[in-house]
């Protein structure tokens, strides 16, 4: 047998070797694993500096502090997986808090009614965003930026300054406990359960497929307009839910507070491994990202440094997460070749 034949046979054998399942597993989960490692490092540092970190009370407190961001980031995650972005969640959060603070009153029926109205407004606003993006072929960034401005203006008209009030029992909801776990922890469990159900539904699969390749989805018979309307509608719905939860923390409304959650909702998702280009992401990673951003604030406080360092650290961690995830993906792809 000639040397050329032996070499060709060797190349053929190498190319026909089966790919290891572990390599594919690493490729799919590399960004999430990077975020998880970062969270463990931050928790370890925080735990070494502060007593009582590894207790149920601390878990309850940290989850309560991160829940508004988690809810806002849930909707943002769905939109990012679709391949878009939603800046209007800031305006919806502000509008939701001022409506609640001015309209709830003390009657439980009134609270339930207005909570439903706020959630409906959130979905409707998001659905309009999705419709405008599809029908007018506009960029999601520009449409949702305009919606954010409009919603913020309406919130200012309703309540020009921070104020209003919600019932005391509504504020107490965040502190209610069952089996030692506070209500926000149970909300987080429900949120994760919802996600694992949602991503397995036909709608969830279609949103991810459309985010991966919109043209192929369209050629397969998927209504892009319908997907956009539902996707942005869900984002608005979760932003409204974030507003309702936020009022349990503040006890009042604020026409400007929503702006504090726009970029962090994107950052939490990206840190958790959600792709800005669509088609990839998991809510569990977003939850980890939200915890990371929340614990940074705790870490800054424990270290007794200026609070101005918090956005610096958040930005640095976001950059590290993006770079590390990119490097991990390239390494995993190299293993496959």
Reading phi first (left if > 0) and then psi (alpha if -120 to 50, else beta), residue 165 is in beta
Q: Across all residues in the chain, what is the average pLDDT?
A: 87
Q: How confident is the model at residue 259 (pLDDT cuts 50, 70, 90)?
A: very high
Q: Across residues 34-45, what is the average pLDDT?
A: 89
Residue 304 CB contacts under 8 Å (≥ 6 apart), including other chains: none
- pLDDT tens sequence across 180-224: 899 999 999 999 999 999 999 999 999 999 998 888 888 888 999
- Side-chain-side CA neighbours of 183 within 13 Å: the count stands at 11
Q: Across residues 318-330, what is the average pLDDT?
A: 72
Give exposure, 88-97, as e/b (b: 16+ Cβ within 10 Å): bbbbbbbbbb
- Please tell me the pTM assigned to this model: 0.88
What is the DSSP annotation of 296-312? HHHHHHHTT--TTHHHH
Domains along the chain?
37-46+59-336 (1.10.3470)
pLDDT the model gives residue 304: 80
- pLDDT tens sequence across 98-137: 999 999 988 999 999 999 999 999 999 999 999 999 999 9
Give residue for tokens 């949702």: 144
Residue with the bigger pLDDT between 175 and 66: it is: 66
- pLDDT tens sequence across 261-273: 999 999 999 999 8
pLDDT the model gives residue 190: 96
Q: How confident is the model at residue 8 (pLDDT cuts 50, 70, 90)?
A: very low
pLDDT the model gives residue 12: 45
Give residue for tokens 């909707």: 75
334, pLDDT greater than 50? yes
Residue 147 CB contacts under 8 Å (≥ 6 apart), including other chains: 87, 88, 91, 125, 128, 129
Residue 188, SS3 per DSSP: helix
Contact 289, 32 (CB under 8 A): no
Percent of the chain with pLDDT over 70: 88
Percent of the chain with pLDDT over 90: 60
């Amino acid at each position: 047998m000639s040397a050329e034949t032996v070499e060709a046979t060797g190349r053929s054998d190498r190319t026909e070797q089966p790919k290891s399942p572990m390599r594919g597993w690493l490729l799919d989960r590399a960004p999430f694993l990077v975020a998880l490692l970062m969270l463990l490092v931050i928790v370890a540092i925080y735990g070494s500096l502060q007593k009582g970190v590894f207790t149920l009370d601390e878990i309850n407190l940290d989850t309560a502090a991160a829940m508004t961001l988690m809810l806002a980031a849930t909707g943002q995650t769905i939109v990012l997986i679709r391949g878009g972005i939603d800046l209007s969640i800031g305006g919806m959060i502000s509008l939701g808090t001022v409506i609640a603070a001015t309209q709830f009153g003390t009657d439980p029926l009134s609270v339930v009614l207005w909570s439903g109205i706020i959630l409906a407004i959130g979905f409707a606003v998001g659905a309009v965003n999705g419709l405008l993006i599809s029908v007018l072929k506009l960029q999601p960034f520009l449409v949702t930026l305009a919606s954010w401005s409009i919603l913020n203006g309406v919130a200012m008209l309703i309540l020009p300054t921070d104020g209003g009030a919600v019932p005391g029992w509504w504020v107490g909801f965040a502190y209610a406990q069952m089996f030692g776990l506070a209500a926000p922890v149970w909300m987080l469990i429900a949120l994760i359960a919802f996600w694992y159900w949602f991503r397995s539904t036909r709608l969830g699969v279609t949103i991810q497929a459309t985010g991966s390749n919109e043209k192929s989805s369209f050629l397969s018979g998927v209504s892009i307009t319908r997907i956009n309307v539902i996707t942005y509608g869900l984002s608005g719905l979760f932003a409204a839910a974030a507003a309702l939860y936020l009022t349990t923390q503040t006890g009042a409304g604020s026409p400007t507070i929503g702006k504090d959650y726009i970029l962090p909702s994107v950052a939490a998702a990206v840190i958790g491994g959600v792709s800005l280009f669509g088609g990839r992401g998991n809510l569990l990673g977003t939850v980890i990202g939200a915890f990371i951003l929340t614990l940074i604030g705790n870490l800054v406080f424990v270290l007794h440094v200026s609070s101005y360092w918090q956005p610096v650290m958040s930005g640095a961690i976001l950059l590290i997460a993006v770079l590390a995830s990119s490097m991990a993906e390239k390494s995993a792809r190299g293993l496959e070749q």
